[in-house]
Homo-oligomer: A and B are copies of this chain.
Amino acid sequence: MPTTLITNGTVVNADAAIRADVLVRDGRIVALGTGTDWTADHVVDATGKLVMPGGIDAHTHLEYPVDGFSTHTADDFHSGTVAAACGGTTTVIDFVKKEPDRTLYDTYLRRRDTAAAKAVVDVGLHAIVPPRAAQPDVLDDLRRLVGEGATSWKFFMAYPGQMVDDDELLDGFELARDLDVLPMVHAENGHMVAREVRRLVDSGRTAESFHMRAHGHDSEAEAVHRAVVLADSIGTPLYVVHVSSAAAADEISQARAAGSRVYGETCPQYLVVAYEDYADLGERAAAYVCSPPIRERSNQDGLWRMLATGALSTVATDHAGFCLHQPEDLPPQKLRSPGYFPKVPNGVPGVEDRLMVLWQSGVVSGVIDPCRFVDLVAARPAKLFGLFPRKGVVAVGADADLVIWDPAADHVITAAGSHTRTDYNIYEGMRVTGRPVHVFSRGEHLVDPDGLRTDTPGRGAFLTRAAPRLH
């Protein structure tokens, strides 16, 4: 494998931004230096640019079955990871949901193989813990999955067929603690949400925009509070996926201030898109339907403040794209049930947009600095999900997953200019200053200013992840 030298750039890590050349050999960073006389087969001049670790999107749903396996998301591991790469993300961590006729363990192995066969960047998988009723011996499978690199397990506190009760949470948390696994929760009080859906439907309020009404701030905040109490009682850390409500983020903030080891993830859609953006779109509001929902604009301030204070630890996408116009080769997508929100497939895309959107809304706007940006999108997810310092940092010994970021480059986000199969973009028309111009994955030059250089399915590796690092 040829060596690569990136010269004259500013290396931006979570901790520090320094001027250094970066030398890459055999897919790894072997040296950083200044005033060097190093040579390499391939030299990239990064003058005026930032050299950052490749983005890690710890929350995606590629070729992912939803609604009781009645449909699935539009992107497969190929198109999804191509989109990721083009956006500067060199690792995605997706989910495994037990299939009806297969154990969790078997589903995991199959999905691992699918991912490994198609992915263009590296991929890991979180295991979703099914209700005990669906697989009574699931704890045995979970135990085995740690050996397969699934060192993070997600529990649903809501949704029929996925929701587990507190006893199952406690059992799972205990096993996670014993095996040094990071438990994750989708934190909404399922009883509260289901009841609100019923009330809305019963009263005829089924238009797409009513989706948000069913998912109250209180139901999210309550679930966060309870999950923290349960995790603390067991003595395990906890990761809360897709925090959407500032009230829920505040529960995390309070718990952290009191000593709980709880980590919150939020997503760009909650930070920069608002209910007001889709409330009046009629059935096309389906494009914005995800859970928890994209909330009132007044909610955004609190989330930004929590990002700034550190109460929120990561920014992922929950990328789960569906099309508005039904493609022939896909099962029913966003508009399969116009006017009836409970049947709209939940999810929005974003894996390609995440870095640019957060850079624009966070860094350019002055709320966070480039180091914190790297922390949120790469270093912290790497740490929490057992990939650090292999990934998430530009450091000697790390995988050469690198993004050369041009902070001066202008760009307009559009669906047409994106690589996801989703046919719309919730950031359509957003102007950003700052974008990835080169992307390397384990030393391989995937993207350059002219675009994608390679999209070989399967060049991405499946990641067997280690234990979480909490600090």
The listed residue (B14, B167, B194) touching A195 by CB distance below 8 A is: B167
B305 pairs with A34, CB closer than 8 A:
no
Shortest distance between the CB of A225 and any CB in chain B (Å) = 6
A471 pairs with B398, CB closer than 8 A:
no
The listed residue (B23, B233, B369) touching A216 by CB distance below 8 A is: B233
What mask results when residues 383 to 416 of chain A are scored 1 for a CB within 8 Å of chain B, else 0?
Answer: 0000011000101111000000000000000000
Tell me, yes or no, whether A290 is within 8 Å of chain B by CB: no
B194 pairs with A34, CB closer than 8 A:
no
The listed residue (B15, B170, B257) touching A379 by CB distance below 8 A is: B15
Chain A residues touching B, majority SS: mixed
Tell me, yes or no, whether A33 is within 8 Å of chain B by CB: yes
A194, A221, A308, A397: residue with the most chain B Cβ atoms closer than 10 Å: A397
Collect the chain B residues with CB atoms within 8 Å of residue A232's CB: 218
B34 pairs with A33, CB closer than 8 A:
no
Shortest distance between the CB of A249 and any CB in chain B (Å) = 10
**Given A192-B230, A226-B226: A18 touches B256 (CB 8 Å cut-off):** no
Tell me, yes or no, whether A32 is within 8 Å of chain B by CB: yes
B19 pairs with A397, CB closer than 8 A:
yes
**Given A23-B33, A30-B33, A31-B32: A395 touches B309 (CB 8 Å cut-off):** no
A213-237 contacts to B (CB < 8 Å): 216, 218-219, 221-222, 225-226, 229-230, 232-233
- A residues apposed to B, CB below 8 Å: 11, 13-20, 23, 25, 30-36, 165-167, 170-171, 189, 191-192, 194-195, 216, 218-219, 221-222, 225-226, 229-230, 232-233, 250, 253-254, 256-259, 305, 308-311, 368-369, 371-372, 379, 388-389, 393, 395-398, 471
Q: Which 6 A-B pairs have the closest CB atoms?
A: A31-B33, A15-B15, A166-B191, A20-B396, A167-B191, A253-B257
